[in-house]
Amino acid sequence: MLVPWSTQAQSVARPPPNILLVLTDDQDYMLGSSSREYMPNVNSLVGDAGLELQNFIVSMAWCCPSRASLFTGRFVHNHNITSGKWPQGGANKFLASGFGNDTLAVWLNQLGYNSYFTGKYLNGFGAELAMPEPCPKGYRVFEGLVQKRGQYK
């Protein structure tokens, strides 16, 4: 026999946890770019208390395909952003393929988060074709770098 039972104590709804995602390029472990010499503040604030992976793989270790994977939750062979520039990749291909409508920022927004973005979004962002709207979907504030020809080479 099951008897419903409860205490009079009310459960207090907790706000969702804050999320801070820091995404950088060219952090090659073999070349030592993560050493204290190059990034002392990051290492003291994050690295010392963080996680160092000893065995890991990525589907493509290049900035634009990796960012597309992080933004969409898809492996490179599923989103086919294989380069940093058109026609194989970059912001133009990412947005033209419709991926800008279904990203981590959109999903977090649907859960009630206010997402803020600053810095490099995807290679080619802001160039001719890659500006269908003022800011990618899901971000409350978007301060992405607008790429002019010759940047990110």
pLDDT in tens, the chain (153 residues): 444 554 555 667 888 899 988 887 776 666 666 667 777 777 777 767 666 677 777 788 888 999 999 999 999 999 999 999 889 999 889 988 999 899 999 999 999 999 999 988 998 887 655 455 567 899 999 888 877 654 444
Q: Which residues does residue 116 pair with via DSSP β-bridges, in sequence order?
A: 141
126: left (phi over 0), alpha (psi -120 to 50) or beta: left
Report whether 118 contacts 84 (CB < 8 A): no
What is the total count of domains within the chain? 1
Please report whether residue 33 resides in a domain: no
pTM score of the predicted model: 0.75
Between CA 115 and CA 102 the distance in angstroms is 14
pLDDT for 82 equals 95
pLDDT for 152 equals 42
End-to-end CA distance of the chain: 70
Residue-range definition of the domain harbouring residue 123: 60-144
pLDDT for 7 equals 53
pLDDT for 5 equals 52
Please report whether residue 110 resides in a domain: yes
pLDDT for 1 equals 44
Number of CB atoms found within 10 A of residue 64's CB? 27
Between CA 35 and CA 42 the distance in angstroms is 10
pLDDT for 21 equals 87
Q: Which residues are catalytic?
A: 63
φ, ψ for residue 118, nearest 5 deg: -140, 140
pLDDT for 58 equals 78
Among 92, 93, 146, 94, residue whose Cα is nearest residue 117: 146
Report whether 100 contacts 94 (CB < 8 A): yes
Please report whether residue 30 resides in a domain: no
